[in-house]
Amino acid sequence: MRNSELARVLRAANPWWSRRRRATWVLDDDDLAARARHEWAPATACARAALAPLADGPRPATVTLVVGPRGVGKTTAVKDVVAHLVADPATDPRRVVLIPAQLTDATGTLDDLEPADLATAVRTPTRTGAPACDGPRVLVVDEVGAVAGWPRVLADAARRGDQVVATTSVLDPADLAELEAACPAGSLTVRRLQPASLSELLGACPTAAVGDVRAAYLRHGGLPRAVAEHRDLGDVSPELVASLAAGLHRDVCRGVDGCPLDLLLSGVCATTDRFVEPEPLARLLGLSTAEVGRLLARLEHAHVLDPRRGLVDPLLHRLPSLIAPERHVPPTAQHIATFSH
C-alpha cells in the first residue's frame, strides 16, 4: 500500500485529529453507535473495568494486549479508552493513533495490512498522515494478530517509549511468547475479554425465570451484542451473523475460499463427543488428519474452540444454520447444552 493510501486509512480512523471532531467523533463512530443501539450493560462495565488503567492517562513504554473472540467487544472497548484520552484537555489528541490492521472493502470482505504497512504506521506515523506531536505516541492497533511479525513491531514501539494498545481475535502461543521475550521487562499486560457464561447472565437477571434465561442463552450465547439483540429484536441480526462469519473465516481459513467455515463448524458439532478429535472430522470433511489438525489449532487460537469441550459459545453451534440455512439444520438445545464450553 502506498503511503498516500495508508494516510487516507489513518485519517478516516482518527477523526479526533480534527479540532472540530475532537468532541463529536464518538457520536457517529460505527462501533460505538452499534453498541448504543444494542448494548448489554454488564459487558460494557466489565470491559471498562478491565481496561480502566488505560483510560487514566498515557502509559509510555508499555504494551497492553486485549484478547478475545470475535464479537466480544474488543474494538469498542479500546475506542472507549481513546474517547477518554482525547476528551482529557491534558492529552494532545494528535498523540493518539488508531491503526486498523484489518480493513473492510465495499463488499464486506476483510483484508489485512501488509507487515511493511503496519511497521511503517507504527514506527513513523507522520509518514502516513499522522500529525506531528511532542512526546511519545499512544498507538492503538486493532486486530493486530492478522499481520505477520506483529510481536516485534509492538515490542520495538514500547522500547522507543510509545504506549501500545492492541486487540487480537487470534493469539498463537508462539506469538505471545515472542512478544513476552521482546518487550521490556514488566511492560506487557494481557487483558482477556470473554463471552458471558450462563451463570453471569443469571446473575445479571436475578428476577427472571431460570428456565427462560437458560433457553435464551442456548439460542443467542453470551456475546454482548448477541445478548442485546436477542433482548431487543428477538434474535441475532443478519448483520451480526455476517460480521462473525467474515471474521472467523479470516481467522481460521485465512480468507481461502476452499475452506467453508459453515462445514467446519458443523463438522465439529457433529463429531464432538467427550473431546474434539481430528480423525472423524477429517473423514467427514474429506481432508487429511494433518489439515484438520491445523484448522482445529486455528479455531483454538481464535478462541472459538476448547478441545476438551467443543465450541465455546452457543451461538457458534447455530452459526452454520444461520450462514447457510439450506445446508444445515439448527442443532438441538440439548446438543448445545452438552457440547458448549
| CA distance linking residue 60 with residue 49, whole number of Å | 20
Higher-confidence position of 111 and 9: 9
Grid cell, residue 73, equals 467487544
| pLDDT at site 105 | 73
Per the DSSP assignment, residues forming a β-bridge with 102 are 112
| CA distance linking residue 109 with residue 131, whole number of Å | 30
Closest alpha carbon to 98 in 72, 151, 133, 137: 137
Q: How far is CA 260 from CA 246, 253, 256, in A?
A: 11, 8, 9
- pLDDT above 70: residue 273: no
| CA distance linking residue 48 with residue 78, whole number of Å | 9
Mean pLDDT along residues 184-194: 94
Q: How far is CA 173 from the centre of its chain?
A: 17
Count, in order, helices (H) and strands (E) of the chain.
18, 9
| Helical axes 41-50 vs 74-87, angle rounded to 10° | 60
Q: Are 66 and 78 in contact (CB under 8 A)?
A: yes
Taking phi over 0 as left and psi of -120 to 50 as alpha, with beta for the rest, 57 belongs to left
Q: How, if at all, do strands 163-168 and 188-192 pair? A: unpaired
| CA distance linking residue 133 with residue 93, whole number of Å | 9
3-state helix, strand, coil in the chain (%, to 5): 55, 10, 35
| pLDDT at site 285 | 84
Residue 52: band (very low, low, confident or very high) from pLDDT cuts 50, 70, 90: very high
| pLDDT at site 258 | 67
| CA distance linking residue 143 with residue 71, whole number of Å | 12
| CA distance linking residue 160 with residue 184, whole number of Å | 10
> Which strand (E) or helix (H) includes residue 182?
helix 173-182
Higher-confidence position of 211 and 1: 211
Mean pLDDT along residues 178-197: 95
| pLDDT at site 175 | 97
Model pTM above 0.85: yes
Q: How, if at all, do strands 188-192 and 62-67 pair? A: parallel
DSSP class of residue 132 equals: P
Burial of 308 (0-12, 13-18, 19+ CB in 10 A): exposed
Sign, CA dihedral 90-94-100-101, equals negative
Residue 271: band (very low, low, confident or very high) from pLDDT cuts 50, 70, 90: confident
Q: Each residue of 128-174: pLDDT tens digit? A: 889 998 889 999 999 999 999 999 999 999 999 999 999 999 999 99
DSSP class of residue 284 equals: H
Q: How far is CA 105 from CA 2, 34, 72, 109, 111, in A?
A: 17, 19, 22, 6, 8
Q: How far is CA 294 from CA 82, 244, 261, 266, in A?
A: 36, 21, 14, 17
